[in-house]
Copies of this chain bind each other. A is one copy, B any other.
């Protein structure tokens, strides 16, 4: 693991020039000749491959593994860059870097001759069969995602049930006989043990399984190839990890990880093979390319949301909101199908498990219970109140994100060894139990509630009178899902305001501390729980102020609070509204939930970004937004692109290819192919006639598709698309391919393999224009040509992701080999 990563020094002059450009007219259009754009421009030209076969420890997505804060800034300083290099030592700089580690997915098909031949050979019937296969794959994605969700739910129910029973018995015994401190130790030790197991798996076996996985899936759907994220091993660690962390009583939910699980299942099924188990079923080979795989991963993520919340439409919208740049009717319909199958499977199995097979009343891992719309209808004058709650949610969410941001930076700096991560997680596990216990204990004189006909699952009597239970224990001594439902539906008066206030405060801190640990965990349920606690408190307050008016139902305000808090933390919009509506099972609350989420987002965005975005930025992922930065019209493709570009000729010497591919200082992934039969020109760059990828070249070299220079008439060894598909997605590194000296003198004809019609734009195109083309078509390389179609540069994801708005000004991120 490279703790000291090499950093490409980078001129900050362009940054300053642009910083002030927002309010000026045409400051850069006519060129700033002194702009030291790319002192060592090559690393930015194309995105870089993660060398395959690297150990899992090299996965930099994981929190705690980033090491770009202790960079040796001066190591590669380029003496030619005239302005002084802006050396960033402060911590905040961390998110102003863009990592060169991440490869892009290629959503654009390489329409080379092999591909076109195959497509032309395929009849209408052949396409129909493919389409049917896609549906079959989506059906299986839904079924397996649903089953995984069932497995998680049932195991947690059983194991957590045993745990709570053991502790309850112990506490009941200690309450009478004394020795509550032993109960505390038992509880803390049990929790810590579970959490330690979970954390150990994540930290040592598969770090990519940490957290909810939603940031990683967001990145993947955005077009960034996050290493290890869709592997079977990750799924296994994720599933068992989430079992241990939920049973371990952490302030986490089991819902977020379902989204990641669904995505892994989708990737696995659609490719018809697993590299973890080294098994290739030789099916669905047509789907072995990024375009198809990403579509299926969208479906998997949607199926995961659907299983988690019983929200099939919300799942579709989640996938679309996060991923699909090009809305395709059939794709969306397939995604919806996978979602429906997933929620149906879960519903069917869980209902059968709970003894009501025909009932189908468990559509998701969490459901918010039945809100009686007649009883707690909202009135139009409540809308301003809801908006106020949105404001509170936005502020609390921003506070949560801010605290978690600093905590994450701390973890990146100091807690990057797996052992330390396990220790921290164990500590949090024990602390959670301790805090819960102390809270429950402290409240026993204040808040005892009679056991009503609506039974609390694990009523802790503690020192309450007989027939009563400790209300704080309902919130703490329970799975978070049940606590949320209690807060939504328990009748008015079930909770003391002090209980709710203390619970909100302590759970807020615990959840904030927990998110980012090396355990599998979701943030949805903790957010909902915090929100419903203060929402209920808000409802009680309103009810007091208005002297017990019938409309101020605390359950309704708990729901709005939950929405506000969740919106303030994750800042999702449309999909979250629909998820909340579907989980509530009631369309009535659509408008207020939307208003609350919108307000929370607006207020929260004023302070800090959403939690997922913070974590994505802290990993320096080149994430592309939906729109180019507002004020980026002042930049042109020419100013943004990387140059000079390494090009190949149609007939290229093997030696040159090997040499360029082996150049670890550049590690380009895409190479424009230029015509060689041109009159010699002043700028010795040919006209664009194609684009070839590193992965394609690797396959060519591996199969020795050469001809000797003398025998250009000899036909090359015929390669087939199958050869490329078999190698996908883990193409061997160039170092593993031996090319003899004789072979180095051969040539290879790239014509058949290159994409003959890569997208290109003129250098004068504005950044927004290049951005839209890039984003809408999911490109990996966009070639920049001059007026006579000669290659002058190349734009990749990083060149576009580098520019972003910061306090109303366009700023340029630095790039680093973190």
Contact = CB atoms under 8 A, between A and B. Distances in A.
A446 interface: no
A573 B333 contact: yes
A127 B773 contact: no
Nearest to A778: B776
A312 B765 CA distance: 38
Given A326-B325, A348-B380, A116 B633 contact: yes
Given A332-B574, A379-B358, A594-B340, A124 B766 contact: no
A591 interface: yes
Contacts of A777: 772-773, 776
A340 B591 contact: yes
A233 to B, nearest CB: 32
Contact of A776 (B27, B321, B776): B776
Contact of A626 (B329, B380, B633, B764): B329
Interface in A281-331: 310, 312-313, 316, 320-321, 324-330
Interface stretch (A173-181, A554-562, A784-792): A784-792
A121 interface: yes
Nearest to A807: B124
B789 A787 contact: yes
A266 to B, nearest CB: 19
B627 A120 contact: no
Interface stretch (A84-92, A463-471, A477-485, A754-762): A754-762
- Counting chain A residues whose Cβ lies within 8 A of the other chain, the interface size class is 35 or more
Given A22-B124, A123-B22, A687-B788, A590 B340 contact: yes
Contacts of A437: none
A51 interface: no
A787 B328 CA distance: 32
Contacts of A158: none
Interface string A346-383: 00100000000111110100000000000001111000
Contact of A120 (B573, B582, B634): B634
A123 B326 contact: no
A125 B630 CA distance: 10
A570 B126 CA distance: 27
Contacts of A111: 765-766, 769
A495 to B, nearest CB: 27
B22 A337 contact: no
Nearest to A765: B757
Contacts of A357: 380
A122 interface: yes
A689 interface: yes
A759 B785 CA distance: 12
A490 interface: no
Nearest to A348: B380
A344 interface: yes
A50 B116 CA distance: 39
Contacts of A578: 313
B312 A590 contact: yes
A680 B330 CA distance: 50
Interface string A7-45: 000000000000001111111010000000000000000
A631 B340 CA distance: 31
A695 B329 CA distance: 33
Contacts of A776: 326, 776-777
A463 B651 CA distance: 93
Nearest to A327: B327
Interface string A590-626: 1100100010000000000000000000000000001
A650 B380 CA distance: 60
B587 A363 contact: yes
A745 interface: no
Contact of A377 (B22, B324, B358): B358
A582 B587 contact: yes
Contact of A26 (B117, B324, B689): B117
A628 to B, nearest CB: 11
B329 A573 contact: yes
A120 B25 contact: yes
Contacts of A324: 327
Interface in A378-393: 378-380
A641 B555 CA distance: 63
Contacts of A688: 787
Interface in A519-541: none
Contact of A689 (B337, B377, B573, B787): B787
Nearest to A805: B124
Contacts of A785: 789
A321 B329 contact: yes
A81 interface: no
Contacts of A573: 329, 333
Contacts of A627: 328, 330
Nearest to A763: B757
Nearest to A331: B626
A343 interface: yes
Nearest to A125: B808
A127 B631 contact: yes
23 contacts: A24-B120, A25-B120, A27-B120, A123-B631, A124-B809, A127-B630, A312-B590, A312-B591, A313-B313, A321-B332, A336-B574, A340-B591, A348-B380, A360-B377, A360-B378, A360-B379, A360-B380, A688-B787, A757-B762, A757-B766, A757-B769, A776-B776, A787-B789
Q: Closest 7 A-B residue pairs measured CB to CB?
A: A124-B808, A119-B633, A757-B765, A789-B789, A127-B630, A327-B327, A358-B379
Interface of A: 21-27, 29, 111, 116-117, 119-125, 127, 310, 312-313, 316, 320-321, 324-330, 332-333, 336-337, 340, 343-344, 348, 357-361, 363, 377-380, 573-574, 577-578, 581-582, 585-588, 590-591, 594, 598, 626-627, 630-631, 633-634, 675, 687-689, 756-757, 759, 761-762, 764-766, 769, 772-773, 776-777, 785, 787-789, 805, 808-809
Given A785-B789, A788-B789, 17 more contacts: A25-B121, A120-B631, A123-B631, A124-B631, A312-B590, A312-B591, A313-B581, A316-B574, A326-B772, A328-B627, A333-B574, A358-B379, A358-B380, A363-B587, A689-B787, A757-B766, A788-B788
